[in-house]
Amino acid sequence: MKIYKIEAGTFHVDGGAAFGVVPKKVWQKRYPCDEDNYCTITMRCLLIDTGEKRILIDAGTGDKQLEYLKYYGFKGVINFETELAKIGYTCADITDVIFTHLHFDHCGGATKFNTDKSAVELVFPNATHWVGELQWQNFLNPNVREGDSYFQENMMPIYEAGKLRLVTENQVVCPELEVRLYNGHTLGQLVSYISLGDKTLVYVGDVIPLAANVPLAWISSYDIFPISAMAEKKILLDEAAEKAQILFFEHDAFTECCKVVSQYNKHKVEKTMTLDEVLS
């Protein structure tokens, strides 16, 4: 099995939003911000080649709404055809795309405008696109808080092409990868558990956006259901600590992976590492 990280670009978010009720004097010691209080975060995707399947986890924001989303200061947004070619793949090679959820920075890159911008087409035309069913229903009928995070053109072409697969329970995608459902940040998130022989890599998405968000109470203001977010995060972290699982961060500009420990019902980062170090 081969695994590649794909850096799909960066953007910035307000530090207060990223860390919720945690005071700036505390959180800025763990994650830096600029003079405007902005924290840089990444869109770090993962490509898994099992031999039979080529699975992409999340697809960044794409370029369709960059003007509308200019507040976020997106930089380095990639073209997947170009990036995949660097490691010997094409977009047509992708068999599965797993969306952690459908906020624009996680799924926008899976569709694109055609040459004359008269229509939106699939970036990965041969792929099955996996989405939690509750997340799909939330996308179709969003609450006020999440309405601005969902764009019809990001997902409806996939649905109309018959390439959408809804997940209603924890499910094995292939022997090397299982998806599990988590709520809190939003409904029906998919967290991927990837088997690396004697190691398990967990693509945590927005259940834990940054290594600095590992402590239970350190949740972001973007979490729609904060109490659920903390409860679900505890479930994930308890298992990660017990089984020495490795967390893979999608949004952390400074930490790619880490292991955690749990003591007296508190969780903390034990060791940070790069994906290359995990795979070596």
DSSP string of 165-208, one letter each residue? EEE-S-EEEETTEEEEEE-SSSTTEEEEEEEETTEEEEE-GGGS
Which tokens belong to 137? 């229903």
pLDDT, tens digit, for every residue of 191-209?
999 999 999 999 999 999 9
Please state the pTM of the whole predicted model. 0.97
Give start and end residues of each alpha helix (H) in the chain. Answer: 15-19, 24-27, 80-86, 104-107, 133-140, 152-160, 226-243, 275-279
Show pLDDT as tens, one digit a residue, over the chain (280 residues).
Answer: 999 999 999 999 999 999 999 999 999 999 999 999 999 999 999 999 999 999 999 999 999 999 999 999 999 999 999 999 999 999 999 999 999 999 999 999 999 999 888 899 999 999 999 999 999 999 999 999 999 999 999 999 999 999 999 999 999 999 999 999 999 999 999 999 999 999 999 999 999 999 999 999 999 999 999 999 999 999 999 999 999 999 999 999 999 999 999 988 899 999 999 999 999 9
- Residue 83: both structure tokens together: 């990036």
The residue count for the chain: 280
Residue 61 to residue 247: CA distance in whole angstroms: 22
Sequence ranges of the domains in the chain: 2-279
In CATH terms, the superfamily for domain 2-279 is Ribonuclease Z/Hydroxyacylglutathione hydrolase-like (3.60.15.10)
